[in-house]
Amino acid sequence: MNADDMRDASMLDLFRLEVETQAQVMSSGLLAIERSASPQDLEACMRAAHSIKGAARIVGIQAGVDVTHVMEDCFVSAQQGKIQLGPRRIDQLLHGVDLLQRIAQSAEDLPLWQACEGRKEIDSFLQGLQNSLLQADDRARETQTPPAATRNELLPAGEFQQDKTESADRMLRVTAAHLNQLVSLSGESLVESRWLPAFNESLLRLKRLQHGATQALETLYDSLRENGVAATQFAALQDSRQQLDACQKMLTERLAELESFERRNSSRAQRLYDQALASRMRPFADRVAGYDRMVRDLGRSLGKQVRLAISGETTQVDRDILEQMEAPLVHLLRNALDHGIETAPQRRAAGKDEEGEIRLSARHHAGLLQITVSDDGNGIDLEQLRTSIVARGLVDNTTSARLSDAELLHFLLLPGFSMRDTVTEISGRGVGLDVVHNMLKRMRGTIQIFSEHGRGMRFQLQLPLTLSLVRSLLVSIGGEPYAFPLAYVNRTMVLDKEQIEMLEGRQHFSFEERQIGLVAASQILQSGESTASDDGIALVVIGDMGQTYGLQVDRLLGEHMLVVQPLDTRLGKIKDVAAAALMEDGTPVLILDVEDMLHSVDKLIAHGQLDKIHEGGSLQQLKASKRVLVVDDSLTVRELERKLLSSRGYTVRIAVDGMDGWNALRSEAFDLVITDIDMPRMDGIELVTLIKSNLQLKAIPVMIVSYKDRPEDRQRGLEAGADYYLAKASFHDETLLQAVEDLIGEAHEA
């Protein structure tokens, strides 16, 4: 550690960090040695003990020196073949690792700790390990010095390893508050960068107006020239034309510069946010360190042979998520040990290895963090679970018979639900998987359960990559925008008024063979009144199996990724609101607290205050915009076209080449296709030919946008069936948008 780092931490802080790091090395090494002894693992343990001993000498903690010295002797004896490190000695050495960690944690008050209980525990450990060495071989002594060749490979006693070179990856201490502020500011920068396209669009409108003024002036000029006017008037008119042409030229140039700046600024803001976000990330290994030891010790206490296999240790996880994941993961691991893994005789009878395996993995998948805990144990008997559900009065026999495997397993997440009739120290106390489920919901995560009787269980956790960003469904309620975190949204739908039923005086509708209560979101938020229209009722379905409601909103505005902005702490807890965010145009939006909203609905029902949704009025529904498929292998071109079309209200779908575009056309409906020519797998000419030769697709207009602007290229595209041919040089003009409107009209029909 270099001088820059040392100035940020006391020597005791450094000692604690050294012990924490090296203790994990020793724990992992000892568990590996217990499974299959290897010289490399033994050497790693010895080096770790020696590093702690050197650090303890520097800070003057003799207890740490004493403990690591006798552990070193044990490792040296094993290295020389004088002793075997079996389960009993591994237990002793792991106890030594725990003791070193307690010494480090008590470093500032070590004399007091030793006077109370520590010295007795240290002496007991030293005597026990020394006796173990003496019993194994009379030649082994606690003061025995290993051969010089072995010691020479280690650092000199009492010295830290000094890294004299400046390292770009050195660790610096930064407070969580500073990191959060950095992420917040970079998020605001990202949002601000997205305001430029709207400003650019306003300049494009100005350019169109100026173009119209130029045409009007040209008409006037031609008329006056034919009819004849005074020379001075004609000269003034000529001067006006020249000035207007100069303005048009300057505006065109500045628009091009602004678009270039907007792309650079947007890219820079995105990189800044990504880097700020990365500073909050830590490897998954930081949280799971020590889990293999926990599984080993708990398995031994249960009389079971179990190993933990961890994968994805380098997967980057948001610091806040990582810290909150400890309790759910520990619960799932203990659950797998107690409920899942069988005893050795039971596993032998089932034709399995005596040693059970629990697997813990982490990876990024589809923009989410996916953590999986699985075991090769006995799994769940689904029929027994079905019987247990009926016996507890949760459902009747008829309903239980219709439940799928996934629905059955979901009952394990209910509060107080347990398959155990007896209470143990580990489980069966009524504190079940609902704890895991609730903690995941607080982090906007989900859980899925899979089981195969006799083969094991798998718990799959899906979480956002960071709590700083939230994938949200934007809606309009009472004329104001609000955001539902997507993790809490079961479904969105538009309900016909005829589907509303009255049950016990309240409005319901049928959803997945259940009756779901209908609630106006505007009543919960006290944001005015929403009413249904002839187009139907826009709904957001929230809740779980025991409590599900359809919330009526004015409009569904689509999915957005929002940068979370915590509310000022001086405001306290605002009912039904979790946080705030800024939309791409800078408009503030409140992120709703779905759990709080469910409680609010329950209160309204309990007090008989739930309003009915009116069946008349003017609920505005979001009109579906026309859909355009953009097919181009250039990321830059695709993005330019997408932004230009989206700014006019068109819904844009992207395809990266002709084959991708052809697959999209066969699975989705589009009003227009815009395609390049030169692309891999299938070029644009082939794609146009396929479209125009297909009876179902040939009516779709096709526009070719290509760098190729020769007459023969245009002729080739038009002969293939293209309805329009445009050169990419026209991107910065209104030509593309005007051509789209000529082919399919505006994004929304009047």
Q: With 0-12 CB in 10 A as exposed, 13-18 as middle and 19+ as buried, what is 404?
A: exposed
3-state class (DSSP) for residue 493: strand
What lies within 8 Å, CB to CB, of 124 at 6+ separation is: none
Asked if pLDDT for residue 104 goes beyond 70, the answer is yes
CA-based Rg of the chain, rounded to a whole angstrom? 35
pLDDT digits (tens, 9 = 90+) for 149-173: 433 333 333 333 444 444 455 566 6
Task: Check the CA dihedral 632-638-644-650 and report its sign.
Answer: positive
Asked if pLDDT for residue 421 goes beyond 70, the answer is no
Nearest to 421 by CA among 388, 459, 463, 444: 388
Structure tokens at 103: 């010494």
Length of the chain in residues, anyone? 750
C-alpha distances in angstroms, 717 versus 50, 205, 507, 691, 701? 75, 31, 57, 13, 13
pLDDT of the residue at 409: 87
Residue 155 Rama label (left phi>0; alpha psi -120 to 50; beta): beta
pLDDT of the residue at 158: 36
Residue for token pair 């000269």: 235
Asked if pLDDT for residue 479 goes beyond 70, the answer is yes
In a 13 Å sphere around the CA of 510, the CA atoms on its Cβ side amount to 4
How many CB atoms neighbour CB 159 within 10 A?
12
Q: Mean per-residue pLDDT for 604-629?
A: 66
- At residue 429, φ and ψ (nearest 5 deg) are -100, 10
Q: Dihedral angle at the C-alpha atoms of 623, 628, 629, 632, nearest 10 degrees?
A: -140
pLDDT of the residue at 198: 66
Asked if pLDDT for residue 415 goes beyond 50, the answer is yes
Q: Are 686 and 679 in contact (CB under 8 A)?
A: no
Q: Dihedral angle at the C-alpha atoms of 482, 487, 490, 493, nearest 10 degrees?
A: 40
pLDDT digits (tens, 9 = 90+) for 173-231: 677 677 777 877 777 777 677 667 767 777 777 777 777 778 878 787 777 777 776 77
pLDDT of the residue at 356: 92
3-state class (DSSP) for residue 673: strand
Average pLDDT, the chain: 79
- Which residue type sits at 306? V
pLDDT of the residue at 115: 66
Asked if pLDDT for residue 1 goes beyond 60, the answer is no
**pTM score, whole prediction:** 0.54
Q: Are 611 and 656 in contact (CB under 8 A)?
A: no
Gap between the Cα atoms of 124 and 132, Å rounded: 12
C-alpha distances in angstroms, 372 versus 151, 163, 294, 449? 42, 38, 18, 10
Structure tokens at 591: 């992120």
How many CB atoms neighbour CB 459 within 10 A?
23
DSSP state of 678: S
pLDDT digits (tens, 9 = 90+) for 307-328: 999 999 888 888 888 888 888 8
Q: Dihedral angle at the C-alpha atoms of 611, 615, 619, 623, nearest 10 degrees?
A: 130
What lies within 8 Å, CB to CB, of 184 at 6+ separation is: 468, 563, 565
Q: Are 53 and 64 in contact (CB under 8 A)?
A: yes
pLDDT of the residue at 579: 86
pLDDT of the residue at 145: 42
Q: Are 578 and 572 in contact (CB under 8 A)?
A: no
Structure tokens at 329: 């993961």
pLDDT of the residue at 397: 84
Q: Are 669 and 626 in contact (CB under 8 A)?
A: no
